[in-house]
A = this chain, B = another copy of it.
């Protein structure tokens, strides 16, 4: 069995880490580990980088576990476009790399292909084979390209002035309008 590493972790340590954080070793977080590993190794050393995940599923947890970028600290942005891709980029210049899955490289890894393209239901999946393929394929199913961010995505949004909502009495960003977004209809509660 090929020795596999994901940044400073052995593959097995990474599996333990994601099981503790994500709840279970989901295929998307396992593959995400190789994706982040490849991206980090292709960045210039010592730069401060931010991350974009192009899907909300699984991949954000690989980024949060392996890089300084978390959702709550704002260095990870999730753009829910349903694409299984991640980019890491210099937070000042916007230059960086994007890693994504290449279906054309999945020939030898049919169970990964079945999972990725949802060609089998979860019940039909051969999980044992899928996990074996993920470990063996490692970065071989990945593709990398250089990217540069559009200027609009580099600007940090600021909340501006904080005021109390006249309806719910909670603090909210004044720029959202005369009521907070929740009282404007965004509330998820009955």
For A176, what are the chain B residues with a Cβ–Cβ distance below 8 Å? 81-82
The answer to whether B81 touches A71, judged by C-beta atoms less than 8 angstroms apart, is no
Are B82 and A147 in touch, CB under 8 angstroms? no
Task: Report whether B71 and A56 are in contact in the complex, using a CB–CB cutoff of 8 Å.
Answer: yes
B residues in contact with A54, CB < 8 Å: 182
Q: Is the CB of B117 within 8 A of A162?
A: yes
List, in ascending order, chain B residues with CB within 8 A of A83's CB. Answer: 170-172, 180-182
Q: Report how many copies the assembly holds.
A: 2
A116 proximal to B (CB < 8 A):
yes
In the assembled complex, which residues on chain B have CB atoms less than 8 Å from the CB atom of A100? Answer: 170
Please give the distance in Å from A114's CB to the nearest CB on chain B: 11
Which of A8-16, A22-30, A126-134 participates in binding chain B? A22-30
B70 pairs with A22, CB closer than 8 A: yes
In chain A, residues 51-67, which have Cβ atoms closer than 8 Å to a Cβ of chain B? 52, 54, 56-62, 64
Chain A residues at the B interface, C-beta cutoff of 8 Å: 21-23, 26, 28-29, 52, 54, 56-62, 64, 68, 70-75, 78-79, 81-85, 87, 98, 100-101, 103-104, 116-118, 147-150, 153, 159, 161-162, 164, 169-173, 176, 180-182, 186-190
